[in-house]
Amino acid sequence: MSVLTGIEDRPTIKIEEKKEAIDMKEMIFPDRREAGRQLAAALIKRDFTDKDTLVLGIPRGGLVVADEVAKALSAKLDVIIARKLRAPYQPELGIGAVVNGDHITINKDLSRAVGATHEYLNREIAYQKEEIERRLQFYRGKHPAPEVSGKTVIVVDDGIATGYTFRAALESLRRRHPDRLIAAAPVAAYESAEMLKAFADEMVCLNTPVSFFAVGAWYKNFDQVSDEEAAAILHRNWSGWSQAA
């Protein structure tokens, strides 16, 4: 995908200079809910409040953050499911991603470096597609997928490590022709945030530490979010909009 023009000139919301001089404790969020409220405040300052705004959370933890964002923006909330392709013998290392079962991206250099064969990739892609289908059925049921074309779409996660899964989500959405495509997270590794600027019209992030560690390191409470909790967030939002209509 070609790099979008004009993106580099847009400022990123992040910690000001002298990151190294800031005590890490000052950058830790109490929990995902509070992180979502702070992220929402930053988005409101950027004027992402028009009626055609759609917030998409990446489950599971990203849906908790996205719930607060959608609430503050009075925007509709939905889900986009992006699953990383795991490296052989290193399941925490992502070598690519699958989005909603129909968009696949692979880091070819990294996959070769870790010894991921063509057969292995086919098996991993098939597994992740099945997992995406399971989650879509569990979360959405018969609820229709949202319309993206012509809308301001804000993609939200609770944090961004390598950024490849988030990138795949953005690439998938770009093919559906949103008016504006925004990447948003409370915290992201600095290099990942810079990389994602080429795939979003704007990158909104509160903290972009150079020494990232892991997403959970930037939260005081980073308890795992269950599928049931994630689904309940979506159903509550859908119910609210149905009643408003």
pLDDT at site 48: 84
Q: What is the CA radius of gyration of the chain?
A: 17
pLDDT bucket at 1, cuts 50 / 70 / 90: very low
Q: Enter the tokens of residue 235.
A: 């159903």
Residue 120 lies in a domain: no
Residue 227 lies in a domain: yes
DSSP 8-state assignment for residue 188: B
The sheet that has 180-187: what strands, in order across it?
76-79, 53-57, 152-156, 180-187, 202-207
Least confident of 26-30, 145-149, 196-200: 26-30
Residue 107 lies in a domain: no
Number of domain units in the chain: 1
Q: What's the whole-number average pLDDT of the chain?
A: 87
Residue 192 lies in a domain: yes
Chain centroid to CA 32 = 13
Residue 98 lies in a domain: no
The string of pLDDT tens digits covering residues 162-171 is 898 899 999 9
Chain centroid to CA 54 = 13
Cα–Cα distance between 70 and 18 in angstroms, integer? 32
Cα–Cα distance between 193 and 215 in angstroms, integer? 13
- pTM assigned to the model: 0.84
Helix (H) or strand (E) holding 25: none
Least confident of 17-26, 76-85, 100-109, 194-203: 17-26
Cα–Cα distance between 227 and 245 in angstroms, integer? 27
Decide which of 233 and 49 is more confident: 233
Question: Residue 62 is part of which domain span?
Answer: 19-81+144-244
Q: How many CB atoms lie within 10 A of CB 149?
A: 9
Residue 58 lies in a domain: yes
Residue 11 has pLDDT above 60, yes or no: no
Kindly report the CATH number assigned to the domain that includes residue 209. 3.40.50.2020
The string of pLDDT tens digits covering residues 60-81 is 999 999 999 999 999 999 999 9
Cα–Cα distance between 154 and 204 in angstroms, integer? 10
pLDDT bucket at 29, cuts 50 / 70 / 90: very high
pLDDT bucket at 114, cuts 50 / 70 / 90: very high
- The answer to whether 80 and 58 are in contact (CB under 8 A) is yes
